[in-house]
Chains A and B, each alone.
Chain A
């Protein structure tokens, strides 16, 4: 009950945010945070709940976005049809990638996902006839669900919010389901889970595919937010940013990715107004978080909170 109230309050706050912000620039920034949060939540399924640290997650954002743009521009399909095709294609790709990457776990998994991700990035750069190379693909038109024009900042924010709430709810159900429990079991005690008769590889593979699907959802939103896609979406920087969101916010928490996404997007926005060296700053934040806040913001703050209540109680 308490959770339901909190959730409703959270959604209401997010829905009222554009009115409070006023300026269109900040509404767009909020849309960016929500898209990044969906992206980070998708990675959190793997990193947080599955214990599988991927450094190639930009693959799903990028391929989802490229596939949407390519199908829409090449075949003239409508935005929703192109989005659906892109989701299908990207999920299939995640299924194939999962078979490869899950030949290993731990660092082997990280290296394979990184190598696969870099190969896609190289492909986006060099396969100019399909991807437009360095120039990317542009000229997309935002969708018009039920005749509502999403061209302006506010309607698009609400569209993103609807997708975000759906993603949040479905991912929450997913990780709290019996399957989510077995995924966390496979993370903590893979050998015991195997002994209990669980198919650890299959559990991880399913989580991998689900994670890829939500990554693709973020990719479709990303491409319609920007109306443009370039190889940067597939870069290692992108993969590292989203991993930083998950780790900074707190892996294996539901709110962590949202907090991490807000942190990274806002710091990036503020920083880019003053300095040109965002990558440098990203690297420094990365090292600092790893050294000083290894379990992330949400668990860190929660620990402080619990300590305070415990101190007040006696």
Chain B
């Protein structure tokens, strides 16, 4: 019994991390029609930046915030100086993000070296609590709570604010949105920065659980892709449900069938693609 409770909570924690990563990916894809293949690299870069900040003795949450800001600025520059030059050429934009992902990954290897590095969580959240008889690390519970908070905040942003209304309009019909005077360009930059910031913060938050290592980007990107294929492009609820499903499948797969955990991920994707190619909650076809 304890096994099932612990693993379920682990699944939720991983799902929370995946949500923080893939929500930005999904919003960017939905609005700008760019599959941002540097998203995994932003995640890793955020983790490394956070690691460097923490080594100066900084408060954990401040490091999370600053890493998010740093990656947001970086993403904003990429959007402004690379992606915007390729406006309208979706494929070229995607390939450019892939090239940037390689540059980031190799630069991280260069700067921070090839050894996996632990990233310690905040001191106040060290230790474990007893959840229904099973011992569980406090930090992971905090991650679950944080992901829920991120979900609520993003949901409020998208559903209840003026900017959210503009984002939804852009996802549904970009030309019409432009036609009624929505400043699509600034909206693109804002959403890209937001997505990058989420990825960067997610990297630091994930640090105490996954640690930081070269190849973290290549491990996380396919998970984000599978989440988005599963949940549907441009949908927050889809990203949330997809993240939890993948979190459970991956965690239990690794515990029960360690050799094949990576392949089992594949199954929900196959089922969804066969039954509903636009994903469970997709508003648009990818």
Q: Taking beta carbons and an 8 Å cutoff, which residues of A are in contact with B?
A: 53, 55, 100, 103-104, 106-108, 110-112, 114-116, 118-119, 122-123, 126-129, 235-237, 240, 243, 247, 277, 279-280, 282-287, 290-291, 294
Contact = CB atoms under 8 A, between A and B. Distances in A.
Nearest to A108: B286
Given A100-B270, A112-B229, A115-B226, A286 B259 contact: no
A287 B99 contact: yes
Closest 9 interchain pairs by CB?
A286-B99, A283-B102, A108-B286, A122-B262, A118-B222, A283-B103, A280-B106, A287-B99, A279-B106
Contacts of B274: 100, 103
A118 B184 CA distance: 34
B205 interface: no
A110 B94 contact: yes
A122 B264 CA distance: 11
Interface string B254-286: 000011111101100110011001000000011
12 contacts: A103-B273, A107-B286, A111-B229, A118-B225, A123-B263, A126-B259, A128-B259, A235-B218, A280-B107, A283-B106, A287-B96, A294-B92
A104 B277 contact: yes
Contacts, number: 124
Given A118-B222, A277-B110, A286-B95, A126 B262 contact: yes
Given A115-B226, A277-B110, A53 B91 contact: yes
A280 B261 CA distance: 30
Interface residues of B, number: 48
Contact of B102 (A107, A111, A282): A282
Contacts of B259: 126-129
B82 A291 contact: yes
B27 interface: no
A203 to B, nearest CB: 18
B98 interface: yes
A270 B37 CA distance: 28
Contacts of A53: 91, 94
Interface in B98-126: 98-107, 109-110
A115 B225 contact: yes
Contacts of A283: 98-104, 106
Given A104-B285, A279-B109, 18 more contacts: A100-B274, A103-B273, A111-B229, A114-B221, A115-B269, A118-B225, A119-B262, A119-B265, A127-B259, A236-B218, A236-B221, A247-B95, A279-B102, A283-B100, A287-B96, A287-B99, A290-B86, A294-B89
